[in-house]
Amino acid sequence: MRPEYKPKAIRSYVIRAGRITEGQRQAFDQWWPTYGLSLHDGPLEPKAVFGREAPLVLEIGFGMGDSLLAMARNEPDKDFIGIEVHPPGVGRLIKGAGDEGITNLRVYMADAIDVLDDCVPEGAIARFQLYFPDPWHKKKHHKRRIVQPAFVEKVRQKLMPGGVMHLATDWENYAEHMREVMEAAPGLTNVAGAGLYSARPEYRPVTKFEQRGARLGHGVWDLLYRT
């Protein structure tokens, strides 16, 4: 007898009282209908969402959203989708986008793996961005790092031919881990050359904490790989 088929549960994050400021809550009330995307909408249709065909940029974990907003502002020829589970950051981003009248930006407040699995079509992404993810710097926690072979393969399938996967970290040990995983990944070529790091592309803004780290002598490592 075949096992009973059970549909995959769609998980989502909810805004909980006390987790965001009143101003951020107001931003959700005002701007979420414009900028918010939901797992429950199913597979993404970029042309229907943005009303045009344009290169699609996907970023996981945009934090407070300042750099993602800057990129959407500076690259109006591209459409941007950000994924973040932190309500204050989402609220800040959509308020900033709404106040500026940004039209080429949308947001998922959900688990990134769920979005990749349930919503992002294969071959849809021109540029994938993962900037300064949690380094889980203790060795016993390295298995929790998001950059692992299975994750990289999942993202690669979402990239269009010639699409770019762009990673950045300010932890040298994590940079080495990222490079090791990416160099071993099939179907991806290091833009800078095998085993090398890339210079920061002009499109990636320098964040405030990155500027502070630079003053303290901390390095930042960028990795760019193309399909």
**Spatial CA neighbour of 177 closest among 220, 131, 213, 146:** 146
Identify residue 132 by its one-letter amino acid code.
F
Average pLDDT on 27-39 reads: 96
- CA 149/CA 91 separation, integer angstroms: 32
pLDDT of 68: 98
Which residue numbers are catalytic? Answer: 134
Q: Note the pTM of the prediction, 2 decimals.
A: 0.89
Domains recognised in the chain with CATH numbers: 37-226 (3.40.50.150)
Most confidently predicted of 63-67, 142-146, 216-220: 63-67
Residue 16: pLDDT band (50, 70, 90) is: very low
Nearest-CA neighbor of 218 among 227, 226, 206? 206
The pLDDT score that the predictor gives to residue 79 is: 98
| 210 has a pLDDT exceeding 90 | no
Q: Are 7 and 118 in contact (CB under 8 A)?
A: no
pLDDT in tens, 161-186: 999 999 999 999 999 999 999 999 99
Position 218 pLDDT exceeds 50: yes
Summarised one tens digit per residue, pLDDT across range 85-132 is 999 999 999 999 999 999 999 999 999 999 999 999 999 999 999 999
- Across 22-61, b (16+ Cβ under 10 Å) vs e yields eebeebbeebbeebebebeeeebebeeebeeebebbbbbb
Give the pLDDT confidence score for residue 216 in this predicted structure. Answer: 76
- Residue 24 binned pLDDT confidence (cut-offs 50, 70, 90): confident
Three-point CA angle 178, 110, 170, nearest 5°: 30
- pLDDT value of position 8: 45
The amino acid that residue 78 corresponds to is K
57-90 pLDDT, tens digit per residue, is 999 999 999 999 999 999 999 999 999 999 999 9
